[in-house]
Amino acid sequence: MNRIKLFLVSLLAALTGLWLLADTLAPQPFTYFSFRAVFVQYTGLVAIGAMSIAMLLAMRPRSVERWFGGLDKMYRLHKWLGVTALIVAVLHWWWAQGTKWMVGWGWLARPVRPRASDAQLGSVQEWLAGQRGLAESVGEWAFYAAAVLLVLALVRRFPYHLFAKTHVWLAAAYLVLAYHSLALAKFEYWMQPVGWALAALLLGGSAAAMIALTGRIGARRKVPGTIEAVAHFPGVDVLETRIALAPGWSGHAAGQFAFVLSDRREGAHPYTIASAWNPADPRITFITKGLGDHTRRLRELLKPGLPVTVEGPYGCFDFEDGLPRQIWIGAGIGITPFIARMKQLAGSSARPVIDLFHPTAVYEQAAIDKLAADAQAAGVRLHVLVDAKDGRLDGQRLRKAIPDWSSGSVWFCGPPRFGQALRADLVAHGLPPGRFHQELFQMR
């Protein structure tokens, strides 16, 4: 089980365990309405708990990035926390709102519940009780808004620039849902561990939401820059952009990525860094491929002299495993982190034995010549595989080309399904799972 799954399962188990210390899913007497009361509390806790952690991960905290294996892995967890929150919140909403509808339709008879007198309530409890009606009303509408925004985030065809803008609105919905949770959680919970955990989640999530709404995510890691040069390789529809950075960049390792803002209407996009870092020459290079509407427009948008903002670096795809043999696979534009690493290794004697496979659907001599020159300078053996001429790369072909493949590690960047297939094949033939490193370069 990888760390993303482990964390998600552990979080759900921890929230469930804390809640079971304070309540039960088998109330006595067991009736529809007695079960509804506890199930709504339980699902509300799980939904807001998952959403709170998702909000915190959206801050791109570098303190936990190494444990998760990179920001790309953290965003994968962020996505699945959002999916979990959506599913559980739908259950929460149905048992809360659907029951009211069924009572209105005459399908259920609402039991008469005794109401505590104000004299029996403390001042805080009395205030929370007074918020119940408002909290239920605004919480319902915030749920509808959050559900729509979460579904849009999962629709791949929804344009990235619209996704980036609308996704921030989830922070506002979260604040309303935090108020909803604060007002409607059982008062008895606040004197128990489940209440303390809920309070911490609401405080952390609310702070993260305010940072998101004020546009301060990653503010301390943003550095202004100016585009110095742009080179276009039309055969592969690839753009190489060199940026001069202002003071403040912390430096980066080969294989990391950064968010680049060149058009405020579009928002910042993540790109893998394609250059080694030299503090004496504070420049950074990105290689982008025309895969979508935005990247296809970059050739017209990016010109020398254009000011940009670079945020980062992020990621743990850094080739640091201490093994004497490495196999790199850069499929298509996935070649970018390997270019940066080769530039870093050029002239270095302390390096592992490396074979680089570059499967590509298109071939441009100028781009391949540059790649070959970088490989030669770094002492890397290059294998260029053009799909139409050479066929596709698979585990069998890789093992045949490199007899000692199992003694090293594999670093893959490219289409996710291609990487998953290679990983499954190599692991099935004896590669330890921890030696297959794959960049999950999908931010939504």
pLDDT tens per residue, the chain (444 residues)?
A: 588 999 999 999 999 999 999 999 999 999 999 999 999 999 999 999 999 999 999 999 988 998 998 898 999 999 999 999 999 999 999 999 998 899 889 888 887 766 655 555 568 777 877 788 899 999 999 999 999 999 999 888 888 878 888 999 999 999 999 999 999 999 999 999 999 999 999 999 999 999 999 999 999 999 999 999 998 887 777 889 999 999 999 999 988 999 999 888 878 888 889 898 999 999 999 988 766 666 667 777 889 999 999 999 998 898 988 899 999 999 988 899 999 999 999 877 778 899 999 999 888 888 899 999 999 999 999 999 998 888 989 999 999 999 999 899 999 999 889 999 999 999 999 999 989 999 876 666
Q: Of the candidates 353, 349, 347, which has an alpha carbon nearest to the alpha carbon of residue 326? A: 353
Domains assigned to the chain: 3-213 (1.20.120), 219-314 (2.40.30.10), 325-438 (3.40.50.80)
Specify the pTM.
0.88
Q: Of the candidates 171, 178, 169, which has an alpha carbon nearest to the alpha carbon of residue 202? A: 178
Contact predicate 340/313, CB 8 Å: no
Sheet (strand 222-233) strand order:
269-272, 257-261, 307-314, 222-233, 238-245, 283-289
> Please, what sign has the CA dihedral across residues 245, 249, 251, 256?
negative
Q: Of the candidates 436, 59, 73, which has an alpha carbon nearest to the alpha carbon of residue 257? A: 73
Distance CA 283, CA 285 (A): 7
Distance CA 84, CA 48 (A): 10
